[in-house]
A and B are shown apart, each in its own frame.
Chain A
Amino acid sequence: MAGVVEVGLGRRTRRWLAAWAWVVFAFLYVPIVVLVVFSFNSSSRVNIWGGFSLGWYGEALSNEVIISAVRVSLIVAFVSTVVSVVLGTAVALALDRYRFRGRRTLDGTVYLPIVIPDITMAVMLLVFFAEAFKLIDSFGPRLTLGISTVALSHIAFNISFVCVVVRARLDQFDRTLEEAARDLYASAWETFRRVTLPLIMPGIAAGGLLALTLSLDDVVISAFVSGPGSTTLPVYVFSSIRRGVTPELNAISTLMLAASIALVLGSLALQRRRASASQQTQVL
């Protein structure tokens, strides 16, 4: 079914479909393009084009608050991605190939953070930290919301996403490859290290990329569990938008946009290279 599927639609219907598709693409892209174009506007009034300028970028990048927010976002994204990739992959492996007590409960629970709305996850964690701090503070230390509570919260939802992605990969796994390795006297660890891990690596990488993106994207949960000085970039942008639209916000948004597009294209390129590499090895 490689070619165009002729499904017996009339010529007119087919033309309408094509036109519609391009209308939808325009709907998806026009707002983003307009935003990017106006980030280069030299005028400080948002609706008047005053000529090309990089001034708002300069302004945004010299803003201490923004730089600190970027740093917080990157630290949280890095930490939560690394931790959730390790924990999520382990859970995925355990669920896929072992039978143990509590397996079904875990299987059901691991999907919940994906399903429930951000706002409920946010208030749940807020209440949790409030209670946990009350408990811990009674032993002496005075804990407050900060960068660590943001990271802990991001790990909580990222584990589930990594687990789901890695499991999808494990579903397609050819177990005979592992058996072959064992038959050739590889130890369990060697089999895992040299056979299993390389084969599920694309799944782990995809899960990690997803975790990274979700962490960098999150506004709602971060807004509730961050404290003063631990504002992430999306939280900063969110609260700025509420105060009003400025060209500086366009510039920051464009930079965030560029970063996420670079991530997607980078990962696509990586997948492609890996795909062609595996084809080559198959030929050999």
Chain B
Amino acid sequence: MQPARRPRAGTGSSGEAAAAQAKRRQGMLLASPGALYLLIFFVVPLALISVYSFATRTSTGRTSLSGWNVESYEAIGDDIILGIIGRSAWLATLTTALCLAVGYPFAYYLATRPRHVRAILLVLVMIPFWTNGLVRVFAIRFLLGSNGPASALSESLGFGTFRILFTPTAVTIGMVYSFLTLMVLPLYVALERMDWSLTEAARDLYAGGSKAFWKVTLPLTKSGIVAGSVLVFVPSFGSYVVPDILGGAKTLLIGSYIARQFRDARNWPLGAALSVLLIAAMLIAVALNQRSGSGAEGGDRRRARRRGRAADEAEPVTAAV
């Protein structure tokens, strides 16, 4: 697939053109195995699920790839499904807000420690982050169970047993527990990089402590807040494991609902349509984050840290260690 080499005026520039072309070919050669893999095992599946969303479900629960229609998308307008989407959005928003409220003071504390203390504290933050996510959700399930340790403790203290497992509260606790670090890390990075002399200047100009915080510190760390919020909102909205383990029938979320369409309910077209919707929503959220990012470098960092452990995962830690 090599285009014919065009003769050029000077011998030097034709040599250069040949070299540039060789380099282009080299780049393509280097990228092609990975690109091909992604094409087969990611792009094609993505296209397939979009196609499936317009297919027909036969009475036996099979998917017939003929008679294209938008029934699955129309079905999303159904009250039950809208309710599920609304509940997912609400729980994801609540989780994000709680993570921000819990995480901001925490990140502030971490970022204002002396360098050597910061290194140790960061490792303490990273350890739960790197531990198996399923095990962490199980830990919450175990702790909150109606005959679990937390309930036993409250009973022995005379507060009686509590039943929060299989409620939206339990799901929210589980999601905050699972995704808190995704909020803390970008906040930490934003706070650590902040030019504190600006806050000091505000104080010198007789701004009170809280005024200096709301008017100077907070706006300066906006990039971290936005990045952290997207990082938490995206996995909470599509979460499947957490609501499945901690939630009950009343907390059916969109992730579980999609799973159900592909398993017991055997309505693949509906599941496919909901997946397409979910992917679109995630992409919009991420694009908004990208746009609000100031400066290309900030955008790259955030993109790198998306879904957490990615990318310069090691960067804040190794920088500090």
In the assembled complex, the CB of B130 is this many whole angstroms from the nearest CB of chain A, namely: 4
The yes or no answer to B152 lying at the interface (CB within 8 A) is yes
- On whether the beta carbons of B37 and A256 are closer than 8 Å, the reply is no
In the assembled complex, the CB of B154 is this many whole angstroms from the nearest CB of chain A, namely: 12
What per-residue 1/0 map shows which CB atoms of B31-73 lie under 8 Å from chain A?
A: 1011101100111111011001000000000000000000000
- On whether the beta carbons of A101 and B48 are closer than 8 Å, the reply is no
- On whether the beta carbons of A47 and B147 are closer than 8 Å, the reply is yes
- On whether the beta carbons of A46 and B147 are closer than 8 Å, the reply is yes
What per-residue 1/0 map shows which CB atoms of A72-104 lie under 8 Å from chain B?
A: 000000000000001110110111011111110
**A254: nearest chain-B partner, CB-CB:** B135
Q: Which of B37, B245, B278 has the most CB of A within 10 A?
A: B37
**B123: nearest chain-A partner, CB-CB:** A268
- On whether the beta carbons of B275 and A124 are closer than 8 Å, the reply is yes
- On whether the beta carbons of A127 and B209 are closer than 8 Å, the reply is no
- On whether the beta carbons of B139 and A217 are closer than 8 Å, the reply is no
- On whether the beta carbons of A120 and B149 are closer than 8 Å, the reply is no
- On whether the beta carbons of B131 and A241 are closer than 8 Å, the reply is no
- On whether the beta carbons of A123 and B262 are closer than 8 Å, the reply is yes
- On whether the beta carbons of B31 and A261 are closer than 8 Å, the reply is no
- On whether the beta carbons of B41 and A152 are closer than 8 Å, the reply is yes
In the assembled complex, the CB of B151 is this many whole angstroms from the nearest CB of chain A, namely: 7
- On whether the beta carbons of A95 and B31 are closer than 8 Å, the reply is yes
The yes or no answer to A283 lying at the interface (CB within 8 A) is no
Instruction: Kindly identify which residue among B24, B128, B177, B241 contacts A238, using a CB–CB cutoff of 8 Å.
Output: B241
The yes or no answer to B30 lying at the interface (CB within 8 A) is yes
Interface of B, secondary structure class, is helix
**Interface size range on B against A:** 35 or more
Which stretch (A1-9, A51-59, A136-144) binds chain B?
Answer: A1-9
The yes or no answer to B75 lying at the interface (CB within 8 A) is no
Instruction: Kindly identify which residue among A99, A224, A257 contacts B135, using a CB–CB cutoff of 8 Å.
Output: A257
The yes or no answer to B286 lying at the interface (CB within 8 A) is yes
The yes or no answer to A185 lying at the interface (CB within 8 A) is no
What per-residue 1/0 map shows which CB atoms of B234-268 lie under 8 Å from chain A?
A: 11011111001100000000010011001000001
The residues of B that contact A31 with a CB separation of less than 8 Å are 136, 139-140, 142-143, 177
- On whether the beta carbons of A87 and B34 are closer than 8 Å, the reply is yes
- On whether the beta carbons of A100 and B200 are closer than 8 Å, the reply is no
A7 and B136 in contact, given A47-B151, A268-B123 (Cβ under 8 angstroms): no
| Complex CA–CA separation, A95 to B275 (angstroms) | 29
What per-residue 1/0 map shows which CB atoms of A28-61 lie under 8 Å from chain B?
A: 1111101100100000011110000000000000
A164 and B48 in contact, given A217-B133, A257-B132 (Cβ under 8 angstroms): no
**A110: nearest chain-B partner, CB-CB:** B38
- On whether the beta carbons of B131 and A261 are closer than 8 Å, the reply is yes
| Complex CA–CA separation, A126 to B45 (angstroms) | 8
| Complex CA–CA separation, A21 to B184 (angstroms) | 11
- On whether the beta carbons of B134 and A217 are closer than 8 Å, the reply is yes
The residues of B that contact A275 with a CB separation of less than 8 Å are 318, 321
We find that the number of chain A residues with CB closer than 8 angstroms to chain B is: 108
The yes or no answer to B304 lying at the interface (CB within 8 A) is yes
Q: Which of B26, B37, B131 has the most CB of A within 10 A?
A: B131
The residues of A that contact B275 with a CB separation of less than 8 Å are 119-120, 123-124
| Complex CA–CA separation, A269 to B317 (angstroms) | 12
Q: Which of A2, A47, A213 has the most CB of B within 10 A?
A: A47
A94 and B28 in contact, given A20-B105, A156-B41 (Cβ under 8 angstroms): yes
What per-residue 1/0 map shows which CB atoms of A148-192 lie under 8 Å from chain B?
A: 000011011001110111011001000000000000000000000
A99-B24, A167-B304 given; name 10 further pairs at CB < 8 Å.
Answer: A5-B111, A116-B238, A117-B278, A117-B279, A161-B309, A217-B132, A217-B133, A224-B262, A237-B138, A275-B321
Residues of B that sit less than 8 Å from A by CB: 23-28, 30-31, 33-35, 37-38, 41-46, 48-49, 52, 102-103, 105-106, 108-115, 121, 123-128, 130-136, 138-143, 145, 147-149, 151-152, 177, 180, 196, 199-200, 203, 209, 212, 217, 234-235, 237-241, 244-245, 255, 258-259, 262, 268, 271-272, 275, 278-279, 282-283, 286, 300, 303-304, 306-307, 309-315, 317-318, 321
